[in-house]
Structure 1
């Protein structure tokens, strides 16, 4: 075994450990993927987590901005001395991933470096595209999807998951001076009011979360419609990941939207039950095996000029 081969093996092992610790839902679903897809998906997750951690973990905002900007330069140049970025560039080349897509991901993370005050639903959807729709696009390439029709649905699945994240993490984000609930919906409340909210704030934000989770469901439905473009094993894996993520919103609703009590989680036993449920239901879902209808362009009205979105020709 050459040193390069050993390095690759060690890198994948390390990436798997990171996925197991920080991406439990996807780690659970990964086991349904064939080996090459699972390995490449893990490499993609490592890159995305690395970018996210630079944005979240750095005490020096200026340094984080410089680092992320340098990574954009390196991706565009196709070379990097950073082992994580270098591996990601190799992965992008291997899977023919449009480099505009990871660059949009980084732009989304850059926007998180300062205090966040989302003002409109359009702005929120653009952010969701940047930090999660892009991941759906890249994952489609990882899973060898070739049909262009699939990409809009992949974007929607990412947007749905990010909307779920935002609803789950209201208090946690508020502690970092971030408000993703559009100001027009929440009366431009400052995020500090979400940490120990009074009754009026609880009621208002609970209404906002109801609306956003209903919006997420529309994007989940579109994402599910595109699963048929994936190879069968990958289709099962992504269906499970989406169903488990969607259930976070269900739990939040069942907990009466008590966002101030912190994150809700899906336990291992519940994950197992939900996994069995989605696998069984998929056998009777004809849309799981063939494409029905077409993507709704209105879901991407806010995303004009972003890579691979569905723009109406009307």
Structure 2
């Protein structure tokens, strides 16, 4: 950690505080995990989250494609060194100065949000997974250079982890999304498992629906498993927070199973007592990862 890095983050402390309030308000699980990062790395994550939240809110909350276009124009100006004079951009400028972030991932994330403007249900599993990269795998790539000095070795794994979290979101929010006129489950898989749009509209928790849900959940769990193989290359001081964020999200799938796949009228969360048990598992996993890293070095 250099004196300049610390000084730059302190200089823009109020801007990072602004970003921190956004993640604390909108994502308690992510905040609980990433707030345990070293201070400058945590602040960097907050700034990136603020960007992602602004993009997401432009479509999902404000339903205003012009806001998304404005954000893309601001990103273009930012790329040219013309920093918009507001807290999020001032904070991001500091992050970009000190970490080798790839701005293309930011554009990719905006592309994912653009696809929600004129939403069409994915025809195939491949289309769903491509969409999941744009809205979430891209976020994994945004964060990766903050979390790992060896980030170039684990790009694909970071994508996998982000995509796993997005599929988890989709499986948790089926009811909310259907009410908004969006079905993210692919048409080919709905047909294969015998689930209709009417079934979703009428909140039918059939065995066919449970089998389809489990197919997608297992795909997500495979992506979690692949993504988490990157842990030995994550900086040691970032492993615990990243594991926590990943484990908390993955646990949502198990909570839904235990509640008989009720994703139409109930939003599932991982409660605090359960998170404490997960932290115990994380401590054991961290010891295992340390041993793996030592074996790689030798």
TM-score bucket (shorter structure): 0.7 to 0.9
Matched, 1:113 2:121: no
Match of 1:301 in 2: none
Moved more, 277-286 or 28-37: 277-286
Q: Which residue of 2 aligns with 1:101?
A: 105
Range with bigger deviation, 13-22 or 101-110: 13-22
Identify if the C-alpha distance between structure 1 residues 85 and 124 changes in structure 2 by more than 3 Å, giving closer, same or farther.
farther
The more displaced of 220-229 and 71-80 is 71-80
- SS of residue matched to 1:33: coil
Relative to the length of structure 2, the TM-score reads 0.86
With over 3 angstroms needed to count, the CA separation of the structure-2 counterparts of 1:110 and 1:7, relative to structure 1, is farther
Q: Aligned Cα RMSD in Å? A: 2.6
Q: Distance in 2 between matches of 1:118 and 1:178?
A: 10
What is the deviation of 1:170?
Answer: 0.6
Assess if the C-alpha contact under 8 Å between 2:74 and 2:84 holds in 1.
no
Q: Is the 8 A contact 2:195 2:208 kept in 1?
A: no
Alpha carbons of 1:265 and 1:285: their partners in 2 closer, same or farther (altered >3 Å)? same
Matches within 5 A, 1:194-273: 194-198=200-204, 202-273=206-277
- Given the alignment, which residue of 148, 153, 156 partners 1:149? 153
CA–CA distance in 2 between the matches of 1:170 and 1:100?
30
Q: Residues 146 and 65 of structure 1: is their aligned pair in 2 closer, same or farther, counting only changes over 3 Å? A: same
Could you tell me which residue of structure 2 aligns to residue 122 of structure 1? 126
1:19 corresponds to 2:23: yes
- The TM-score normalised by the length of structure 1 is 0.82
User: May I ask how many residue pairs the two structures share in their alignment?
Assistant: 286
Q: 1:36 aligns with which of 40, 62, 71?
A: 40
Q: How does 1:167-178 map to 2 (within 5 A)?
A: 167-178=171-182
Unaligned stretches of 5+ in structure 2?
A: 1-7
Query: Residue by residue, what CA displacement relative to the aligned partner does 1:48-95 show, whole Å, maximum 9, x if unpaired?
Result: 11111112122444x235324424533443424252245435433432
Partner of 1:79: 82
Q: What is the CA distance between 1:197 and its match in structure 2?
A: 2.2
Preserved CA contact (<8 Å) 2:168 2:217 = yes
Match of 2:12, SS state, is helix
Change (3 A) 1:240 1:6: closer
1:243 Cα deviation from its structure 2 partner: 0.8
Q: Distance in 2 between matches of 1:90 and 1:255?
A: 44
Quick check: 1:164 aligned with 2:168?
Answer: yes
Tell me if the contact between 1:157 and 1:224 (Cα under 8 Å) persists in the aligned partners.
yes
- The question of whether the paired residues in 2 share the 8 Å contact of 1:174 and 1:195 is answered with yes
Shift of 1:183: 0.8
C-alpha deviation, 1:153, in angstroms:
0.9
Cα offset for 1:279? Answer: 1.4
Rounded Cα–Cα distance in structure 1 between residues aligned with 2:72 and 2:263: 33
In structure 1, runs of 5+ residues without a counterpart are 293-314
Question: Cα gap change, 1:93/1:7 in structure 2, threshold over 3 Å: closer, same or farther?
Answer: closer
1:64 and 2:67 matched: yes
- Contact 1:282/1:288 (8 A) holds in 2: no
Q: Decide whether the 8 Å contact of 1:171 with 1:260 is kept in 2.
A: yes
Residue aligning to 1:310: none
Q: Secondary structure at the match of 1:258?
A: coil
